[in-house]
């Protein structure tokens, strides 16, 4: 049986790599053939001779995230650092603090030329994807599943298989390292002991905080599980795919845990009690995209005709998972976001199911001018559903088994929130819904009186506010690359001017990340999740920039160098000298001209687009056969007929507007 402490020993021999578990493997270990890459489970007794030889080197790890095959062969992805994130009941949850990607292939397996260049880039992308501080796991608790889902699976799974092989009952949607673990799962087969080599890991957020109220103490746990089936970055992963999976899909569970060893109460009815409340978020389940174009507002594309089947599949899957669904749409009802709201409303009206409900709350309009108290309008509208759906409640009997117990009530439905990004507005709404349910839970268990509210307990209120804001930042960093907006309201309960300024800074950073950095981040996610599998000779990182684009990039570097030079060595001896002012102004104008040229003619090759997976909305690359094309100068020095032609040659002709998102 797996225990709350586990470690693995990896030994490298000339032709094999062996992996041993400190506990729970029952004498079995994994053997990787360094030449063929095959993996099998072998008994230690059957391979005593192999273990008698001294390995070339050994290393230890706290877990195996899996194996990824690159051009040189298999690489082990190891968890080499961990830190305790908290507990659920008597189970410890760890946060991944450090990972290592280690070559398992034989040293004789080499690649050269362009393949060697590609291999180094694949490894760099893997390290980039693994460098985030948002992977969590447990050795004896299925962190991929909510408490209620675990209880349902427990009834259908033999007890010996639940703890020995967590991956067998893991939720496929939130088993984030499922692709990396597939070679291990295939090797383990039906062997129950060897299941300890497969460790389900979630990506998202986990935090556990002790709470003490009126002599009663319990743990408050907040966990967000991000889905793996359609993940990516903010502008390169939108809407639903052909299977109905949506971008930025995540399940957030709030747990009130009286079963923790640190909990205490004079009320015996609270001993071993656990209460769970689950919400979900996800991109609007239609075919849509926001195509970067160097402007602050990307080009919005919506294809409602291609959306019906995907919408229906997504909502049917949500009903299958959660029984009843209330979709809360928070996008604006006017201007830029209006097409999104209209499409969502139309498809919702066509989706004929008594278990599906739809409501549209224009968050920005209702809460404009910092009237954030008006979020109560939405809470009142959702009160009937929130009360009827309830929450999961179970009483554990620690004397028998830590995870035993019979459910006292189930959560019968789910509230699905979304805005454009499913980040900022969604975070505010989810935190408010959770507070409403938490108040009801504490009143029903007698911890609160019938008139008590969370605001009566400043320490608890502060803890909740900060925890939910941290959760918002974690989800936002994973999707947009920055912290969430509007977290000042989540942390303090009111909107502040300093919070608005911080939102402005984050918005500017999101602009630069979305246009100039997120393509590579999308590649790293696609590689980690198996959306792209490396092939020899593919050359996805080849430098295919046309000459004019290289010249523009070079001009940017020269201009920046000149501006920095003018700052440290101003002409005329000081910054405000006329000659220095003219020098700086001229190079600023050059920069402005270059950026105008890129925006008008060269977004297809100079913005940061994904290289590994096809992005259907990337503009066509325009290649000039002779001179560099500078739109401003062309318009200034061309004939009237040519000027008219150039004005009509708008960038919109380069956008593949007739293409549909895969």
Q: How far apart are CA 142 and CA 149, in angstroms?
A: 10
CB 138 within 8 A of CB 92: yes
CB 310 within 8 A of CB 286: yes
Which of 88-92, 203-207, 483-487, 492-496 bottoms out in mean pLDDT, i.e. has the lowest?
492-496
Question: Which pLDDT does position 157 carry in this prediction?
Answer: 63
Q: Name the DSSP class of 165.
A: -
Q: 535 or 396: whose pLDDT is higher?
A: 535
Per-residue CA distances from 466 to 90, 150, 544 (Å) = 25, 28, 47
Decide: residue 227, CB within 10 A, 0-12 exposed, 13-18 middle, 19+ buried: buried
pLDDT of residue 22: 87
| Residue whose pair of structure tokens reads 């004896």 in the numeric block | 140
Distance CA 589, CA 580 (A): 14
3-class DSSP state for residue 375?
helix
Residues in the chain: 662
Q: At what angle do helices 547-568 and 578-601 cross, to 10 degrees?
A: 160
Predicted local distance difference test score (pLDDT) of residue 349: 96
β-bridge mates for residue 439, sequence order: none
Interatomic CA distance for residues 310 and 242, integer angstroms: 6
Q: Residue 154: which pLDDT band, with cuts at 50, 70 and 90?
A: confident
User: pLDDT band for position 636 (50/70/90)?
Assistant: very low
Q: For residue 622, name the pLDDT band (cuts at 50, 70, 90).
A: low
Distance (Å, whole) CA 597 – CA 635: 12
Say what percent of the chain tops pLDDT 70.
88
Q: What is the pLDDT of residue 290?
A: 95
Instruction: Count other C-beta atoms under 10 Å from residue 195's C-beta.
Output: 24
C-beta separation of 127 from 529 below 8 A:
no
368-419 pLDDT, tens digit per residue, is: 877 878 899 999 999 999 999 999 999 987 555 556 788 999 999 999 999 9
Which one, of 249, 254, 251, 260, lies nearest residue 222 by Cα? 254
Q: 234-273, pLDDT tens digit by residue?
A: 999 999 999 999 999 999 999 999 998 877 777 888 989 9
Q: Residues 310-366: pLDDT tens digits?
A: 999 999 999 999 999 999 999 999 999 999 999 999 999 999 999 999 999 999 999
pLDDT of residue 285: 97
pLDDT-based confidence at residue 649 (cuts at 50, 70, 90)? very low
Q: What is the mean pLDDT of the chain?
A: 87
pLDDT tens digits, residue range 161-183?
Answer: 555 579 999 999 999 999 999 99
Backbone angles phi, psi at 419, to 5 degrees: -125, -155
* Contact criterion met (CB below 8 Å) for 489 and 510: no
Pinpoint the alpha helices (H) of 64-146: 114-130
CA angle 395, 396, 400 (to 5 degrees): 140
Measured torsion, CA atoms of residues 173, 140, 466, 413, in degrees rounded to the nearest 10: 50
Taking phi over 0 as left and psi of -120 to 50 as alpha, with beta for the rest, 358 belongs to beta
Confidence band (pLDDT; 50, 70, 90) for 657?
very low
Is the CB of residue 255 less than 8 Å from the CB of residue 276?
yes
Cβ–Cβ under 8 Å, residues 594 and 556: yes
Q: Flag whether pLDDT at 655 surpasses 70.
A: no
Give the separation between CA 519 and CA 539, rounded to whole angstroms.
17
pLDDT band with cut points at 50, 70 and 90 for residue 659: very low
The whole-number pLDDT of residue 637 equals: 42
R_g of the chain computed on alpha carbons: 28
The full 3-state SS of 296-307, as one line of letters, equals CCCEEEEECCCC
- Over 90: is that where the pLDDT of 64 sits? yes
Q: Whole-model pTM?
A: 0.88
Reported in sequence order, the residue ranges of 528-632 that DSSP labels E, i.e. its strands, are none
């Amino acid at each position: 049986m797996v225990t709350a402490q586990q470690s693995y020993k990896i030994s490298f021999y000339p032709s094999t790599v062996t992996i041993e578990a400190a506990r729970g493997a029952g004498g079995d270990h994994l053997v990787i053939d360094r030449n063929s890459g095959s993996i099998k489970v072998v008994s230690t007794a059957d391979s005593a001779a192999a273990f008698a030889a001294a390995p070339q080197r050994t290393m230890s790890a706290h877990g195996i995230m899996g194996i990824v095959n690159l051009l040189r062969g298999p690489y082990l992805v190891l968890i080499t650092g961990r830190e305790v994130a908290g507990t659920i009941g008597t189970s410890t949850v760890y946060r991944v603090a450090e990972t290592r990607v280690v070559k398992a292939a034989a040293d004789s397996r080499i690649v050269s030329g362009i393949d060697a260049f590609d291999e180094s880039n694949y490894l760099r992308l893997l390290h980039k994807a693994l460098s985030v501080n948002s992977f969590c796991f447990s050795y004896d608790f299925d962190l991929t599943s909510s408490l209620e889902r675990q209880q349902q699976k427990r009834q259908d799974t033999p007890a010996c298989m639940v703890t020995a092989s967590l991956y067998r009952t893991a939720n496929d949607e939130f088993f984030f390292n499922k692709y990396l673990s597939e070679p291990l799962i295939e090797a383990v087969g039906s062997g129950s002991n060897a299941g300890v080599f497969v460790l389900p890991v979630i990506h998202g957020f986990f935090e556990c905080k002790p709470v003490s109220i009126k002599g009663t103490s319990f743990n408050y746990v907040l966990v967000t599980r991000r889905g793996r089936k359609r993940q990516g970055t903010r502008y390169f992963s939108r809407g639903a795919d052909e299977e109905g999976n949506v971008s930025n899909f995540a399940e957030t569970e709030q747990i009130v845990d009286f079963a923790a060893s640190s909990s205490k109460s004079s009320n015996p009815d609270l001993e071993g009690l656990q209460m769970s409340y689950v919400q979900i978020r996800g991109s609007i389940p239609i075919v849509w995209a926001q195509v970067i174009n160097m402007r602050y507002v990307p080009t919005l594309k919506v294809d409602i005709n291609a959306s019906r089947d995907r919408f229906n599949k997504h909502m049917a899957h949500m009903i299958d998972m959660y029984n009843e669904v209330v979709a809360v749409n928070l996008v604006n009802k006017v201007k830029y976001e209006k097409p999104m709201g209209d499409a969502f409303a139309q498809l919702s009206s066509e989706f004929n199911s008594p278990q599906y409900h739809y409501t549209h709350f224009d968050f920005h309009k209702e809460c404009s001018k910092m009237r954030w108290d008006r979020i109560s309008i939405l809470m009142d509208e959702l009160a009937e559903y929130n009360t009827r759906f309830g929450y999961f409640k179970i009483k554990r009997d620690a004397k028998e088994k830590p995870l035993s117990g019979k459910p006292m009530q189930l959560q019968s439905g789910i509230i699905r929130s979304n805005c454009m990004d499913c980040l900022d507005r969604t975070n505010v709404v989810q935190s408010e819904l959770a507070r409403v349910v938490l108040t009801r839970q504490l009143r029903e268990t007698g911890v609160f009186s019938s008139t008590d509210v969370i605001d009566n307990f400043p320490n608890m209120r502060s803890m909740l506010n900060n925890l939910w804001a941290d959760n918002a930042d974690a989800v936002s960093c994973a999707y947009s690359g920055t912290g969430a907006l509007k977290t000042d309201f989540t942390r303090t309960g009111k909107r502040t001017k300093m919070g608005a300024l911080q939102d402005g800074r984050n918005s500017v950073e999101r602009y630069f990340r979305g246009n100039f950095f997120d393509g590579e981040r999308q590649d790293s996610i696609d590689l980690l999740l198996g959306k792209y599998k490396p092939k020899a000779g593919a050359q996805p990182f080849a430098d295919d920039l046309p000459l004019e684009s290289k010249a523009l990039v070079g001009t940017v570097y020269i201009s920046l160098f000149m501006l920095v030079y003018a700052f440290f060595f101003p002409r005329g001896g000081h910054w405000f000298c006329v000659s220095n002012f003219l020098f700086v102004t001229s190079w600023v104008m050059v920069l402005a001209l270059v950026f105008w040229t890129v925006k008008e003619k060269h977004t297809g090759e100079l913005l940061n687009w994904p290289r590994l997976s096809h992005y259907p909305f990337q503009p066509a690359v325009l290649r000039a056969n002779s001179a560099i094309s500078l739109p401003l100068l062309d318009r200034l020095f061309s004939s009237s007929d040519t000027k008219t032609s150039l004005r009509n040659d708008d960038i919109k002709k380069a956008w593949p507007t007739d293409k549909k998102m895969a």
